[in-house]
Amino acid sequence: MSDKVRDIQSKIMKNLHGGDQIAAAVAYVPLFGWVFALVLKKDDDFCQFHGRQAMKLNLVLVVLFFAIWVLENFPLFSWAFGEAAFLHPISRSVWLISVFAFLALSAVGAYKAFSEERWEIPYLNELVDTALDQIKGGAGKGES
């Protein structure tokens, strides 16, 4: 038991002096935590990894929330997904599930960062890279 306590104390003291794991874990604070890791810890590759991953996670959440907002408020779709519409429970369920998934993935990412692990969120990089390729491909076709 005392070995575990000493191990935890040594990690805490190391974090107080170095702060790399704490900075990487702070990256998973919703919406703006990734800015801290990417901007203030530019020289630390570990913080940059977790900062980029947290930024991608936040980007997916914001895009999903914007899509749900458009479905619920844009006149073309609001008849089906609006406040009193028959598909509104589906859009609200997707919103609620995405919030819980985001918070859970942020908590696990922060824990892994604090534990000095380079854990990649499954499918996140592929999802963001595919979406960016589609956007770049669509923009390139329009210019020609």
* pLDDT, tens only, 64-100: 999 999 988 888 888 888 888 888 889 899 999 999 9
> What gap in Å lies between CA 110 and CA 129, rounded to an integer?
22
Quote the pLDDT of residue 13.
55
Between residues 111 and 1, the one the model is more confident about? 111
| pLDDT (tens digit per residue) in 14-59 | 554 456 888 899 999 998 899 988 998 888 899 999 999 999 999 9
End-to-end C-alpha distance for the chain, whole angstroms: 68
pTM of the model: 0.77
- Rounded CA gap, 9 and 55, in Å? 30
Is the confidence at residue 63, as pLDDT, over 80? Answer: yes
